[in-house]
Homo-oligomer: A and B are copies of this chain.
Amino acid sequence: MPFQFHEESRDPGSQARTGRFSNARGTVQTPVFMPVGTQASVKTLRQSDLETLDAKIILGNTYHLYLRPGHELIRELGGLHKFMSWDRLLLTDSGGFQVWSLAELNRIDDNGVRFQSHLDGSYHTFTPELSMDVQLALGSDCVMAFDWCLDYPAERSEAEKAVRLTLDWARRCRTAFDAGAKLPDSDAALFGIGQGGVYADLRADCLAGLRDIGFDGYAIGGLSVGEPKTAMWDMVEAGMPHMPEGAPRYLMGVGTPEDLVEGVRRGVDMFDCVLPTRNARKGSVFTSRGRLVVKNAVYARDERPLDPECSCYTCRRYSRAYIRHLFQVGELLAQELATLHSLHFYLSTMRRMRKSIESGTFGEWSAAFLDTYRSGDVD
């Protein structure tokens, strides 16, 4: 069963919509938040936890998995799903963002990007063709085209160059993906990624160019890299009309709970972000009433759960006082419990959002959600 996307309902007062995409592995209802499993693990969680949280798709990182354990090893062992024991969908990024943000760059030219590993300084070159080969070796369900991410701020000329490279590479990715050897039973879809910095016309041009090439899904990349939030939403709005309605629209690397609502309002179908997992490991969790820094001393005697409104494993069983103690003494269970909670909050927020769109009440629901969330009334 090849990859398919269908829109299912639309909010009368905004661009918010629900839909679903599916392949032989399963179905993902959108709008969706995808937990990030950088190194073939959503940090601190077991794959059964993600099933319990009802995550239907998670991310893997091409750059990290290429370096360790190596894509050829994963191909040899039957692909990433089998390697990590995850039979639901996987999206892999292109490696472009990590090369840009983590590696020591040596040279960028039309061919690709030469860089040094952040681990051992070894030299590597990522090309569109290699990115496709790695992602096909992993057996990804949603393969991302290799793009060029721009620094913020960047001159217009730099942004133009990034768009030109990104479109050129997108064409090569399309060719390499179509010709590439797939793992058995693989139903991979290919997504294009739009760049263009904070220049609205370049964003539009890039996505229009991608649309001409033709992809199964379209992403807005290179945002949430330091630009003001208003600029980010301007770019999303600039790009949205140029992304086909019949394909999922993915805002990469975003964001806070508020961002999820604001993105959905503008028509975004897919999100990923390390925020819920990374912050949780540092002792800061997301709740219906805003962020709660559970490791703070004020919670030492607080017998309430992290979020009294929450039904996750952590909140059903443990107090703030206990979790605060675990952070205080450096017990790893602290990170697990906080991660379980924050991902539950993200995924259940997306479920509620979908339900409100289906019932035509997204406007009211989102206003109430944001009002409570912004109250910051966690104590």
Stretch in A189-197, A221-229, A333-341, A353-361 with 4+ CB within 8 Å of B:
A333-341
B residues less than 8 Å from A335 (CB atoms): 332
> Is A325 an interface residue when CB atoms closer than 8 A count as contact?
yes
Q: Which residues of B contact A337 (CB under 8 A)?
A: 46
Q: Return the CB mask of A30-46 against B: 1 if under 8 Å, else 0.
A: 00000000011101111
Is A328 positioned at the interface, with any CB of B under 8 Å from its CB? yes
Tell me the number of copies of this protein.
Answer: 2
The verdict on A41 contacting B326 (CB below 8 Å), with A77-B303, A300-B73, A303-B77 known, is yes
Q: Which residues does chain B contribute within 8 Å of A332, judged by CB atoms?
A: 43-44, 332, 335-336
Are the CB atoms of A329 and B39 closer together than 8 Å? Answer: yes
Q: Is the CB of B83 within 8 A of A48?
A: no
Selected from B69, B83, B336, the residue in CB contact (under 8 A) with A336 is B336
Contact residues in B for A83 (Cβ distance below 8 Å): 319, 321-322, 325
The answer to whether A46 and B85 have CB atoms under 8 Å apart is no
Q: A76 an interface residue at 8 Å Cβ cutoff?
A: yes
List, in ascending order, chain B residues with CB within 8 A of A301's CB: 73, 76-77
Residue of A68, A318, A325, A337 contacting most chain B CB atoms (<10 Å) = A325
Query: When the two chains form the complex, which single residue of B41, B45, B47, B333 contacts A43, counting CB atoms closer than 8 Å?
Result: B333
Which A18-56 residues have a C-beta within 8 angstroms of B?
Answer: 39-41, 43-48
Q: Given A77-B303, A303-B77, A40–B325 Cβ distance below 8 Å?
A: yes
8 Å CB contact of A85 from B48, B68, B76, B317: B317
Complex contact A45–B333 (CB within 8 A): yes
CB distance from A356 to the nearest CB of B (A): 32
Chain B, Cβ-Cβ closest to A335: B332
Indicate if A8 sits at the interface (CB-CB under 8 A).
no
Contact across chains for A333 and B68 when beta carbons are under 8 A apart: no
Measured CA separation A83–B321 after assembly (Å): 8
Given A68-B329, A77-B301: A85 and B43 interface contact (C-beta under 8 Å)? no
Query: Is the pair A46, B333 in contact by a Cβ cutoff of 8 Å?
Result: yes
7 A-B residue pairings within 8 Å (CB atoms): A39-B326, A40-B322, A40-B325, A43-B332, A43-B333, A73-B300, A77-B303
